[in-house]
Amino acid sequence: MSEKVLMKGNEAIAEAAILAGCRHYFGYPITPQTEVAAYMSKKMPKIGGTFLQAESEIAAINMVYSVASTGKRAMTSSSSPGSALKCEGISYLAGADLPALIVNVQRGGPGLGGIQPSQSDYFLATRGPGHGDFHVIVLAPSSVQEMADLTAKAFDLAEKYRMPAMLLADGTMGQMMEPVVLPEPRQTQADHSWAVTGTKMEREHNIINSLYLQPAELEEKNLERFKRYETIEKEECLWEEFMMEDAEICIVSCGITARVSRNAIVEARKQGIKVGMIRPITLWPFPKKALFDAADQVKAFISVELNMGQMKEDIELAIRCKKPVELVSRVGGMIPSPEEVLNAIKKAAGEEE
């Protein structure tokens, strides 16, 4: 399967999920992620899988809960307003320690907002999407190739740590087309001894549940979960550094804005400005250490986002406010141009025009 194909980001998610052994997809259509469902509806019946268009996003996420309980790989996908609806179910998945993949191809908000691209669900995804104390692993692809690779990765990580994972893409990532080398087909290697698969009268019942009658028991569960989160923060952070070796200004950006920023960085370098980028690939866990270390090297950070500065807060926390963090942002479905980013770079470099 090493041959290249030309795919939409949304299709790449769907095909990569199938190759990762997912045979259960539950969803509800919403722009700009509908191609995930459309692809699944065409492909799943041909390979003995389940494609089900649920009556709502809430129904879909609860169907995911049930399949996940059996130890099978299950997923759902939506865009911002639909992802918000799924939050109750995601909290239940987290509370029952179930692995699952939730795809969120973001559009402008709040409310019904719009259908054009956005990154305004950063808080929703990284602060634990739902009630209660929990996290989901959040992966932010920046190319169609990463849409495929990180989908497979999300399934693996979710299973390894028994928790939900969210692929957080923006509408542009979902819609754009690029050549992709699809990941190798794989099956889960994880331990599923916890799953409800029928006891065959040979073992004790497994129970999938998020209700604990004794407060002390519930506290214990929460503490155990946060121990796991500590391990994840230590071991699973992913980021990419671009032209950071001698950088004096550091752009932090993910998804489509990382690509816009890359163009701006190349242009700024031509003009002699030493600028680089740290691109978080996991948004939770956030690459705090890479940023903290960079804070001693650079004189300023620039956060480039399709929201009003949600990730900027994480950057400030990560660097302990050691250096200023400027914001370049467009919202409502707009995308900053490389020139807008370049102007911010020049300003940070003290070369205001």
Q: Which residues bind another protein (CB under 8 A)?
A: 4-8, 11, 15, 31-32, 35, 39, 42-43, 108, 113-116, 142-143, 171-172, 175-179, 256, 259-260, 262-263, 266, 332-333, 338
* Closest CB 262 distance from another protein, rounded Å: 7
3/55 with CB nearer another protein: 3
Give the tokens for residue 14.
Answer: 């769907």
Dihedral sign, CA of 306, 310, 316, 317?
negative
* Closest CB 311 distance from another protein, rounded Å: 19
Beta strand spans in 214-348 (E): 239-242, 249-252, 275-280, 282-284, 300-305, 325-329
DSSP β-ladder status, 137-139 and 282-284: antiparallel
- In whole angstroms, give the CA distance from residue 65 to residue 100: 8
129/174 with CB nearer another protein: 174
Chain Cα centroid distance, residue 97 = 18
The residue count of the chain comes to 353
* Closest CB 264 distance from another protein, rounded Å: 10
62/80 with CB nearer another protein: 80
Q: Going edge to edge, which strands form the sheet with 282-284?
A: 50-53, 24-27, 74-78, 100-106, 164-170, 137-139, 282-284
* Closest CB 333 distance from another protein, rounded Å: 6
* Closest CB 266 distance from another protein, rounded Å: 5
- In whole angstroms, give the CA distance from residue 161 to residue 2: 29
136/244 with CB nearer another protein: 244
31/188 with CB nearer another protein: 31
User: In a 3-state reduction of DSSP, which class is residue 181?
Assistant: strand
Convert 10-26 to b/e letters by CB count within 10 Å (16 or more is b). bbbbbbbbbbbbbbbbb
* Closest CB 6 distance from another protein, rounded Å: 5
Give the tokens for residue 135.
Answer: 């996290």
204/245 with CB nearer another protein: 245
Do residues 130 and 98 lie in contact, with contact meaning Cβ atoms separated by under 8 Å? no
201: amino acid identity, one letter: M
118/310 with CB nearer another protein: 118
87/180 with CB nearer another protein: 180
Give the tokens for residue 179.
Answer: 């050549």
DSSP string, 185-235: P----S--TTS-S--TTSSPPP------SSHHHHHHHHHHHHHHHHHHHHH
* Closest CB 351 distance from another protein, rounded Å: 22
DSSP β-ladder status, 100-106 and 164-170: parallel
69/253 with CB nearer another protein: 253
* Closest CB 170 distance from another protein, rounded Å: 12
7/167 with CB nearer another protein: 7
* Closest CB 95 distance from another protein, rounded Å: 34
* Closest CB 21 distance from another protein, rounded Å: 18
